[in-house]
């Protein structure tokens, strides 16, 4: 065990300046992770909003096995007709508003954002990009330009030019969206800042200003999609339709995939007379991942998980009453439990693990921990989770 952990520290690049969570996972099933010693842990972060159907959902595993018997990678994106990729695009089109019917598949959320920004520039022939303070859109050089936290951005300057940041929920600043703007990119819920919800009709007001100025609106639904709000997409929850939609994380059912989706008219801007000049990817639309993504969508659109999200979310709120809990923000299964103190939050996240539960803090909010469980979690498992949380809060 010690040798494996030493090798882990030596040969894998480390991302934090403190000890990582040193759990060696033997297997995962449903809402549980199991370590080498046989101890199980409730997974309340779902791999950071990836495993919306839990670990090893039977229909996802079946899709993997069927695709293994056919083929894996055969050609770069878009060159061959692959049944799984086409069926996934068709399924997404059937579930989304009619203006969002053309998909470009990539490998991650950052790539989806990159592709969406390139598409907006090509279509509009404008260059200014507006994002929001407190936002998170990825960690590549270009997506860092859109990031809403200066501490994360400053070491990598200079970043992409012609970026403007507005304050989330500031109605007065919406007028800074003008005819010089190529696109506005926004998270319907600011997840990395601790589940900050849009106030009143903020998203609708942004949509209206984009309409007035001919600006493309991009929704980053990389965390908020596929049931997290109780709707399949947050755009349905807030009743606002963007011009471009970005998906990733949970779409692949545990495998890596991203997508940016728009109308055929807008998407055709990528086809600008030279092969692969608009955007290119080798592994985007990989048949294995598209097969699991299709299975994920079929489960979520045909079974009853979404109908239970609101009541189960309310159960978390009902049970999580403690003197150390100052506030619970968010909606559905996108919840932030605010303890009001960074030191207490860090202690909680570290000490809840030995008690059999996994949660995490937020990139831009160090006083809260996250509750992003698999949508498959039962009421009994919620009760067990809350008992562990309350016990740990008492202990620290």
My answer on whether 245 and 118 are in the same domain is yes
User: What is the pLDDT at residue 80?
Assistant: 81
User: Does residue 129 sit within a domain?
Assistant: yes
CATH number of the domain residue 341 falls in? 3.90.1150.10
- For 157, residues 6+ apart whose C-beta sits below 8 A from its C-beta are none
Cα–Cα distance measured from residue 192 to residue 95, given in angstroms and rounded to the nearest whole number:
27
User: Does residue 175 sit within a domain?
Assistant: yes
Cα–Cα distance measured from residue 355 to residue 338, given in angstroms and rounded to the nearest whole number:
20
My answer on whether 148 and 278 are in the same domain is yes
Per the rule left: phi > 0, alpha: psi between -120 and 50, beta: everything else, 159 is: beta
Q: Which of 283, 302, 321 is the C-terminal boundary of a domain? A: 302
Contact assessment for residue 263 and residue 57, using Cβ atoms and an 8 Å cutoff: no
My answer on whether 28 and 175 are in the same domain is no
My answer on whether 328 and 280 are in the same domain is no
My answer on whether 108 and 227 are in the same domain is yes
CATH number of the domain residue 215 falls in? 3.40.640.10
DSSP 198: P
**What is the chain's pLDDT, residue by residue, as a tens digit (396 residues)?**
457 777 777 787 877 765 556 788 899 999 999 998 899 999 999 999 999 999 999 999 999 999 999 988 888 777 788 899 999 999 999 999 999 999 999 999 999 999 999 999 999 999 999 999 999 998 888 888 888 778 888 888 877 777 899 999 999 999 999 999 999 999 999 999 999 999 999 999 999 999 999 999 999 999 999 999 999 999 999 999 999 999 999 999 999 999 999 999 999 998 865 666 678 888 889 999 999 999 999 999 988 899 999 999 999 999 999 999 999 999 999 999 999 999 999 999 999 999 999 999 899 999 999 999 999 999 999 999 999 999 999 999
Residue listed under structure tokens 């030493």:
6
My answer on whether 143 and 25 are in the same domain is no
My answer on whether 77 and 37 are in the same domain is no
Query: pTM of the full predicted structure?
Result: 0.94
My answer on whether 78 and 183 are in the same domain is yes
If you count them, how many residues does the chain have? 396
Nearest to 262 by CA among 147, 102, 395, 125: 102
User: Does residue 381 sit within a domain?
Assistant: yes
My answer on whether 209 and 259 are in the same domain is yes
Per the rule left: phi > 0, alpha: psi between -120 and 50, beta: everything else, 109 is: alpha
- For 274, residues 6+ apart whose C-beta sits below 8 A from its C-beta are none
My answer on whether 295 and 310 are in the same domain is no
Say whether 311 sits in a helix, a strand or coil: helix
My answer on whether 389 and 250 are in the same domain is no
Cα–Cα distance measured from residue 384 to residue 40, given in angstroms and rounded to the nearest whole number:
13
User: What is the pLDDT at residue 90?
Assistant: 97
My answer on whether 192 and 169 are in the same domain is yes
User: Does residue 28 sit within a domain?
Assistant: yes
Contact assessment for residue 227 and residue 191, using Cβ atoms and an 8 Å cutoff: no
What's the domain count of the chain?
Answer: 2
Question: How distant, in Å, are the alpha carbons of 9, 14, 20, 283 from that of 17?
Answer: 12, 8, 9, 32
Question: How distant, in Å, are the alpha carbons of 24, 174, 335, 378 from that of 321?
Answer: 32, 37, 14, 20
User: Does residue 192 sit within a domain?
Assistant: yes
User: Does residue 9 sit within a domain?
Assistant: no
- For 329, residues 6+ apart whose C-beta sits below 8 A from its C-beta are 194, 195, 196, 197, 335, 336, 338, 368
Strands 32-35 and 40-43: antiparallel
Instruction: Give the residue numbers spanning the domain of 254.
Output: 60-302
- For 309, residues 6+ apart whose C-beta sits below 8 A from its C-beta are 227, 228, 229, 230, 332, 333, 375
User: Does residue 5 sit within a domain?
Assistant: no
Q: Which of 285, 302, 319 is the C-terminal boundary of a domain? A: 302
User: What is the pLDDT at residue 158?
Assistant: 78
User: Does residue 354 sit within a domain?
Assistant: yes
User: What is the pLDDT at residue 289?
Assistant: 97
Q: Which of 302, 325, 345 is the C-terminal boundary of a domain? A: 302
């Amino acid at each position: 065990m010690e040798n494996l952990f030493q090798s882990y520290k030596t040969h894998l690049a480390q991302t934090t300046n403190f000890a990582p969570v040193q759990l060696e996972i033997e297997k995962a099933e449903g809402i549980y992770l199991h370590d080498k010693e046989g101890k199980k842990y409730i997974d309340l972060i779902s791999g950071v909003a990836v495993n919306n159907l839990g670990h090893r959902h039977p229909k996802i595993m079946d899709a993997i096995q069927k695709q293994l018997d056919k083929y894996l990678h055969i050609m770069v994106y878009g060159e061959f007709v692959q049944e799984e990729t086409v069926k996934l695009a068709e399924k997404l089109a059937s579930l989304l508003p009619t203006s969002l019917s053309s998909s470009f598949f990539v490998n991650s959320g950052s790539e989806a954002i990159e592709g969406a920004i390139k598409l907006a520039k090509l279509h509009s022939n404008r260059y200014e990009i507006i994002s929001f303070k407190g936002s998170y859109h990825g960690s590549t050089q270009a997506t860092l330009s859109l990031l809403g936290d200066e501490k994360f951005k400053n070491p990598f300057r200079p970043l992409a030019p012609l970026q403007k940041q507005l304050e989330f929920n500031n109605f007065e600043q919406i007028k800074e969206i003008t005819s010089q703007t190529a696109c506005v990119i926004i998270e319907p819920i600011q997840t990395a800042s601790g589940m900050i919800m849009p106030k009143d009709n903020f998203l609708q007001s942004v949509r209206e200003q984009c309409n007035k100025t001919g600006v493309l609106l991009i929704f980053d639904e990389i965390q908020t999609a596929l049931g997290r709000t109780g709707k399949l997409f947050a755009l349905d929850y807030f009743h606002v339709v963007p011009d471009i939609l970005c998906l990733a994380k949970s779409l692949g059912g545990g495998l890596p995939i991203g997508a940016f989706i728009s109308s055929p008219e807008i998407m055709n801007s990528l086809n600008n007379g030279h092969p692969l000049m608009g955007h290119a990817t080798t592994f985007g639309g990989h048949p294995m991942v598209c097969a699991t993504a299709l299975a994920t969508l079929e489960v979520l659109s045909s079974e009853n998980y979404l109908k239970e999200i609101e009541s189960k979310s309310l159960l978390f709120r009902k049970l999580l009453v403690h003197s150390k809990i100052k506030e619970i923000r968010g909606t559905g299964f996108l919840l932030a439990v605010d303890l009001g103190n960074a030191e207490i939050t860090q202690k909680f996240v570290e000490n809840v693990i030995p008690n059999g539960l996994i949660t995490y803090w937020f990139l831009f909010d160090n006083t809260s921990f996250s509750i992003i469980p698999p949508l498959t979690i039962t009421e009994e498992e919620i009760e067990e989770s809350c008992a562990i949380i309350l016990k740990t809060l008492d202990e620290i």
